Structure 1
Amino acid sequence: MTATPSHAPLAHRLADQDVRFVVGTIWNPNGLLLAKTVPVQRADSFAETGLGASPTWHGFAIDHGGIAFTDTISAVGDLRLRIDPQAIRVLDAGLAWAPATFHTQDGGPVDECARTALLRVEAALAEAGLSARVGHELEFQLAAADGSPLPSTGWAPYSLAGVLQHEDFVRELYAAADQAGLKIDQVHPEYAVRQFEFSLEPQSPVAAADALVLARLIVQRVARRTGHTVSFSPKPQAADAGNGAHQHFSLTRDGEPLFSGGDGIRGLTADGASAIGRVVELIGDLQAVLAGSVLSTIRMAPGTWAGAHAAWGLENREVAVRLVAATPSNPRGANVEVKIIDPSTSAYIASAAVLAAMLDGISTSTPLPPEADRDPGSLTEAEREAAGIAVLTTDQRAALDRLDASTAVRGLLGDRLVDAIVAGRRYEADHYGDLDPEDLAERFRFAWGF
């Protein structure tokens, strides 16, 4: 068969690869992946003029029925959903996937659109002469096909038994990722029963978030094919370790890294120190952006490696901002891991928030606070206070109030996106915030998956 030329219509190129339909996804401010599909013959229309979508897509809530309204999220009006043809990936069974972006009817940007927010921040970094790469980690928990917990027999954290017991799932996950062109660095069993984690190859910010959407799609399809379902909840089981969605950030200027090779503490450059300093300074304001769901604050507990302390430190897994050093064993170089991000959050929004804070820190030469060189949980309250280390709140409403009042975060992300985040998470707090952790875990175990 003769290959279809690269300049041919998208529909022809996809049909040449036996694609029958195309799914386009968006990741809304409440962490929900929403989608529309078209037959392959309409792929070009999906990319060029888009499909209609109500502004309420930004407000759809995690109970899969409610809508969080704002002044601009209502039943009035219509937007266009356009896929990015450059990011399209062909899966199996005649399916192709692409990330989508919201546009106004006349083609303008939509402030509540998560992917648009990250595109804007990536452009601002480039304008400042900076380049960023983001590496995503994602934890998830396997369950039986009917959603019931799998038995714990034979399971141990990080064990070979965990791989062998789910060898079919792991094998198919790698195969499906290869077919779709998804670069997985590693997959391993995690701490909680039937919990796994995978790491993706670092990429530019938007491409990395796109890849994470594709990864979640592939994980769910492979789970279904192997007789499982999967939970991306921050707390699938109230008594077990939660799921994180850590992001690793590196910054360079003219090819030179900012988080290593400098003459500051731990080899930081002045700009690298300021980038970290601003993230730490704003981490309390950003908590409801990075981990704002009704289950997120249950996960946010000291002693669980959730990064519950507002501080930074070298290889310190108990602080919100962990510096990973450049060493011979880390050929990709130094990076900063933001640990409080969880899977209930749109990765586009989380990356946009962290990178915008880093850029702001560099622009304003934000000072770097003292390093937390040991577990802040081992300190007394007085010692933490003297070191300037706060414990992040476990009260969702308090985190939302702090975000709502933050002029700094509103300046970084824009009022309309912040309003959408606050409205959606307050809907959760108002309707479900009084449930106990066990009921919350049961109610929303599959809210961010299937």
Structure 2
Amino acid sequence: MNRQQEFVLRTIEERDVRFVRLWFTDVVGSLKSVALAPAEVEGAFEEGLGFDGSAIEGLARVFESDMLAQPDPSTFQILPWRGNGHTEQTSRMFCDILTPDGEPSAADPRNVLKRTLEKAADMGFTCYTHPEIEFYLLKSDKPGPDGIPVPVDQAGYFDHVPGGVAQDFRRTAVTMLEDVGISVEFSHHEGGPGQNEIDLRYADALQTADNIMTFRTVIREVAIQQGTYATFMPKPFSDHPGSGMHTHFSLFQGDSNAFHEPGAEYQMSKTARQFMAGILKHAPEFTAVTNQFVNSYKRLWGGGEAPSYLSWGHNNRSALVRVPLYKPGKGQASRLEYRGIDSAANPYLAYSVLLGAGLKGIEEEYELPPAAGEDISALTSAERRAMGHDPLPSSLHDAVRQMEESELMPQILGEQVFENFLRNKRAEWQDYRLQVTPYELSRYLGVL
């Protein structure tokens, strides 16, 4: 037994933890949980916890259903919304999913990201990420009488609302996040009514993905405590901005930022340019992963600064990839921001495909196209074509089709995750396209 495992067992005893929740995700990023009694934790460290993988979306087929959940002791945390004298003390650990012979499961999203990070390490890189997570705070999970969700306020970007529900919510949520070891950099009201953003501090990509899964749980728990409802749905309102998860990426070689080159344009190194070129080249192939729901394409093509075309720019917020404003004397802060990803994406798979595409650009020495200096959405279609700003997929159907034709995506995700993910998305599209929507009934029923 290693020291981290010993620390967990000692903490469970000293803090009188009564339940230990083991967390992992299915292929689309839904959080799964099983609670262990404290006496069973040591055995789970040694042998894993057996479960039926065929009951989890995308994890195993019926004839190979036996799987093991192996808790990662480095992720142990006491959950602050349990305990405090009201209920039994509860903690959580993330798990790696193993096959019965103890090998990492090829279908485990967390393992997919681990493999991608190992490839980066083989190339000499450590990947750091910094997500800006948007979500809506609503009065209920039910729409109002007009069929539209009801936000908790009518405030806008950076608005300060004395005594406001969202302000109290953010304060409680940030405190709870920090209680579980997640450092927060900023929090503020976003552009839509009831829309909020909380930005997490830089961490390595695996820790960030774990943090995002915890973040979503914390946000929903705080909302329930305060009698509201939090949603990470990409586009809950037709007339207001969608919720994204802009993520900043940087690669380090030891203590040196591989994206920084003093004197270069925007202080951006050749490595950074090749990484960005890889993301731009392969973005249409991985959009089904970063924007995995039917509703995601209402955000991408619904305006509100959501990027819809392949482009990059320096401080250009209409671009898909942005090079943030350089801070003089702070070369360690050099980074790239990918603005296409939804806050509802599976973070393990989304970061895998983004990092994998960027590494491919470095490996193959992709050439970066010219920067976009203008608002791309304001250009005509002919102007965009002439400048090489091809569109992202316009629907989940288009995104699935482009992912199916990709050679790189099955290499990054592995054939099993690749096929399981596509099967799930094809089924979602089939369900969606068979629906007769309120829009169709209101537009056609009375006139046709």
Q: TM-score of the superposition, structure 1-length normalised?
A: 0.88
Change (3 A) 1:271 1:145: same
Matches within 5 A, 1:175-190: 175-190=175-190
Matches within 5 A, 1:4-403: 8=6, 10-56=8-54, 58-59=56-57, 73-74=61-62, 76-92=64-80, 93=83, 94-145=89-140, 147-148=142-143, 149-151=149-151, 154-161=154-161, 164-261=164-261, 264-301=264-301, 303-328=303-328, 333-403=333-403
| Equivalent pair of 1:311/1:320 in contact (CA under 8 Å) | yes
Task: Map Cα deviations across residues 178-205 of structure 1 (whole Å, 9 max, x no partner).
Answer: 2212101111111111111111011111
| Equivalent pair of 1:326/1:332 in contact (CA under 8 Å) | no
| Equivalent pair of 1:154/1:161 in contact (CA under 8 Å) | no
Which SS does the other structure have where 1:115 is aligned? helix
Change (3 A) 1:203 1:152: closer
| Equivalent pair of 2:275/2:362 in contact (CA under 8 Å) | yes
Cα drift, residue 330 of structure 1: 6.9
| Equivalent pair of 1:147/1:229 in contact (CA under 8 Å) | no
Q: Which runs of 5+ in 1 are unaligned?
A: 61-68, 441-450
Task: Map Cα deviations across residues 318-342 of structure 1 (whole Å, 9 max, x no partner).
Answer: 2221112331497851211111111
Paired with 2:378 and 2:38, the residues of 1 have a C-alpha distance of 58
The residue identity in structure 1 corresponding to 2:417 is L
Mean Cα displacement is larger for which, 270-279 or 147-156? 147-156
Paired with 1:281 and 1:223, the residues of 2 have a C-alpha distance of 39
Task: Map Cα deviations across residues 106-133 of structure 1 (whole Å, 9 max, x no partner).
Answer: 1111112111011111111112111110
| Equivalent pair of 1:29/1:345 in contact (CA under 8 Å) | no
Paired with 1:245 and 1:142, the residues of 2 have a C-alpha distance of 16
Which SS does the other structure have where 2:196 is aligned? strand
Change (3 A) 1:127 1:196: same
| Equivalent pair of 2:275/2:361 in contact (CA under 8 Å) | yes
Paired with 2:421 and 2:171, the residues of 1 have a C-alpha distance of 37
Change (3 A) 1:73 1:437: farther
Paired with 1:416 and 1:245, the residues of 2 have a C-alpha distance of 26
Q: Determine which structure has more spread, i.e. the larger CA radius of gyration.
A: 2
Alignment partner, residue 86 of structure 2: none
Change (3 A) 1:226 1:376: same
Cα drift, residue 274 of structure 1: 0.6
Which SS does the other structure have where 2:303 is aligned? coil
Cα drift, residue 163 of structure 1: 7.3
Cα drift, residue 134 of structure 1: 0.7
Paired with 1:200 and 1:18, the residues of 2 have a C-alpha distance of 30
Change (3 A) 1:413 1:151: closer
The residue identity in structure 1 corresponding to 2:338 is V
The residue identity in structure 2 corresponding to 1:83 is P
| Equivalent pair of 2:166/2:196 in contact (CA under 8 Å) | no
Change (3 A) 1:56 1:191: farther
Alignment partner, residue 446 of structure 1: none
Paired with 1:329 and 1:230, the residues of 2 have a C-alpha distance of 39
Task: Map Cα deviations across residues 208-250 of structure 1 (whole Å, 9 max, x no partner).
Answer: 1111112112111111111112111112234332111222101
Q: Which runs of 5+ in 2 are unaligned?
A: 84-88, 144-148, 441-448
Paired with 1:439 and 1:275, the residues of 2 have a C-alpha distance of 42
Task: Map Cα deviations across residues 413-444 of structure 1 (whole Å, 9 max, x no partner).
Answer: 2221111211111111011234477789xxxx
Which SS does the other structure have where 1:160 is aligned? coil
| Equivalent pair of 1:26/1:33 in contact (CA under 8 Å) | yes
| Equivalent pair of 2:153/2:165 in contact (CA under 8 Å) | no
Paired with 1:360 and 1:146, the residues of 2 have a C-alpha distance of 41
The residue identity in structure 2 corresponding to 1:123 is E
Paired with 1:177 and 1:225, the residues of 2 have a C-alpha distance of 15
Count of matched residue positions in the alignment of Structure 1 and Structure 2: 426
Which SS does the other structure have where 2:136 is aligned? strand
| Equivalent pair of 2:138/2:151 in contact (CA under 8 Å) | no
The residue identity in structure 1 corresponding to 2:315 is E
Matches within 5 A, 1:424-443: 424-435=424-435
Paired with 2:406 and 2:296, the residues of 1 have a C-alpha distance of 20
The CA RMSD measured in Å over matched residues stands at: 2.5
Paired with 2:275 and 2:377, the residues of 1 have a C-alpha distance of 25
Cα drift, residue 206 of structure 1: 0.6
Cα drift, residue 385 of structure 1: 0.8
